[in-house]
Chains A and B, each alone.
Chain A
Amino acid sequence: ETGVTQSPTHLIKTRGQQVTLRCSSQSGHNTVSWYQQALGQGPQFIFQYYREEENGRGNFPPRFSGLQFPNYSSELNVNALELDDSALYLCASSLGPGRETQYFGPGTRLLVL
């Protein structure tokens, strides 16, 4: 198992609400990437944080936002939840941006009703 942890493990929200998901990176890792995995699909890149700055973003709207803290833990915030936001949200940490291997946490399963 990796040292990446995520909370909560499961979450149920209603459409229009806001949600915050949390990720603690593996010790020594300064880069955190967030992915969304819809049922039956591969993970899709949302954005990456490196040394507390956003370091790249996938094709997700601005209501998906994030933060990285000085200890390199990270948050993913989603505003104005939509039914299609129901998915497994994964964070992955790595030693740095670029070509380093990414290690995934167990994920947060979000259900939007």
Chain B
Amino acid sequence: GQQVMQIPQYQHVQEGEDFTTYCNSSTTLSNIQWYKQRPGGHPVFLIQLVKSGEVKKQKRLTFQFGEAKKNSSLHITATQTTDVGTYFCAGNYGGSQGNLIFGKGTKLSVKP
């Protein structure tokens, strides 16, 4: 079945270090979305990538979609304590439903 794998499961960094989380799908995605969930909160939409090879930036966050539309990454430059949370990728395989298949998330902790 359709599955989105996300690694690493946990990442502990010192404030100021960079952070990257990776997502991989065995089949081609229609698009991929990234969400951030703070402890005790709900997923908050960050970005959607649609085109093959697409790269989008939001301040210190850089999102990439692979050429084959099967993998994606989120890179945070110079992490801050406010970046703490779990980052989820969610793959959309198209079709009439458009339901999202979430990865298990990467939990980021930042040591000040």
Q: Does A16 contact B (CB under 8 A)?
A: no
The answer to whether B30 and A48 have CB atoms under 8 Å apart is no
Q: Does B99 contact A (CB under 8 A)?
A: yes
Give CA–CA (A94, B99) in the complex, Å.
Answer: 11
Q: When the two chains form their complex, are residues A55 and B96 in contact, meaning their CB atoms are under 8 A apart?
A: yes
Residues of A in contact with B (beta carbons under 8 Å apart): 2, 33, 35, 41-45, 48, 55-56, 58, 88, 90, 92, 94, 97-107
Q: Are A98 and B96 in contact (CB under 8 A)?
A: yes
Closest chain A residue to B1 by CB distance?
Answer: A59
Chain A residue at smallest Cβ distance from B88: A42
Chain B 41-64 interface 0/1 with A at a Cβ cutoff of 8 Å (1 = within): 111110010100000000000000
Chain A residues with CB below 8 A from B30, complex form:
99
Q: State the Cβ distance, A43 to closest chain B Cβ, in Å.
A: 5
In the assembled complex, the CB of A74 is this many whole angstroms from the nearest CB of chain B, namely: 14
Smallest distance from the beta carbon of B86 to chain A beta carbons, Å? 9
Specify the chain B residue showing the minimal Cβ separation from A6. Answer: B42
Contact A106 B42 (CB under 8 A): yes
Is B44 a contact partner of A104 (Cβ separation < 8 A)? yes
Contacts of A42 in B (CB 8 A): 6, 88, 90, 102-105
- Closest A residue by C-beta to B6: A42
B99 and A90 form a contact (CB under 8 A): no
Shortest Cβ distance from residue A46 to the other chain B in the assembled complex, whole angstroms:
9
Residues on the B chain within 8 Å of A92, using CB = 100
B8 at the interface (CB under 8 A from A): no
- Is B98 touching A94 in the complex (CB atoms < 8 A)? yes
Q: Is the CB of A98 within 8 A of B43?
A: no
Question: Is B92's beta carbon under 8 Å from chain A?
Answer: yes
The answer to whether the Cβ of B31 comes within 8 Å of any Cβ in the partner chain is yes
Verify A99–B31 contact, CB threshold 8 A.
yes
